[in-house]
Amino acid sequence: MSPIELIPVFSFLLQRGKCRSCGILISKQYVFIEILTGILFVLSIYEAGFHKDLMITISIISLLIIIVVTDVNYMIIPNRILLFFLFIFSIERILIPLDPWWSSIVGAIGAFAVLLLINVITRGGMGGGDIKLFSVLGIILGWELTFITFMLACFSGSIYGLVVILSGKLKRQNPIPFGPFIAIGGLVSSFYSENLLELYDIIFR
């Protein structure tokens, strides 16, 4: 594979949507994901500026984009991906700790424990990958933003599920990947953390 084939979007256009060596069509999903990732990276610079928090925002975007692709296509959130970002997030929070610092620990352990309890009560209502993903996000977001992420994910997932069921495109018993909605909640929490925390304080304190 030549370096020119690795350039996002440009390589797809240059090769006219086909593999250069075998001629097989390349899914347009790759182009969409590359464009979306680029847009989110630019937005992260706009929101955070060239600040130390930019590294954290880009890491969150990278994790959530991968999760969306794997969960939508294969209904799985790979442990290897979560372990990799667990390491990255832990290092970032050591270098750039939250205030208070223990919010990362409470976010990770609390998210895992609460969602595991929900999973037991609902008898598998939430996938193990989703639980572990929230735990990993808890390290980087802290317990308050992790809770907000969960609420946003449930809200957006419920709206989507209701729409597709009422439209007849999906039956009630069919599973819906939760990863994309966690990604929505995580991205909103990451980009608008200060505003959401202020709203959280008004509502719950």
Report the distance separating Cα 142 and Cα 23, nearest Å: 47
pLDDT band at 23 (very low <50, low <70, confident <90, very high): low
User: Across residues 61-89, what is the average pLDDT?
Assistant: 95
State both tokens at 72. 């939508």
pLDDT digits (tens, 9 = 90+) for 125-134: 788 999 999 9
Q: What is the pLDDT of residues 3-19, one digit of tens each?
A: 666 677 777 777 777 76
- Angle, helix 179-191 to helix 52-74, in steps of 10 degrees: 170
H or E element in which residue 176 lies = none
pLDDT in tens, 170-193: 766 677 899 999 999 999 999 988
Q: Does 93 have pLDDT greater than 90?
A: yes
Domain residue extents for the chain? 51-204
N-terminal to C-terminal alpha carbon distance within the chain: 56
Q: Which two tokens stand for residue 134?
A: 């929230």
pLDDT bucket at 167, cuts 50 / 70 / 90 = confident
CA–CA distance, 185 with 13 (Å, rounded to integer):
32
Tell me the per-residue pLDDT of 188-203, one tens digit each, with 9 for 90 and over: 999 988 888 888 778 7
Other beta carbons less than 10 A from residue 107's beta carbon: 27
Q: How far apart are CA 189 and CA 144, in angstroms?
A: 10
d(CA 101, CA 6): 39
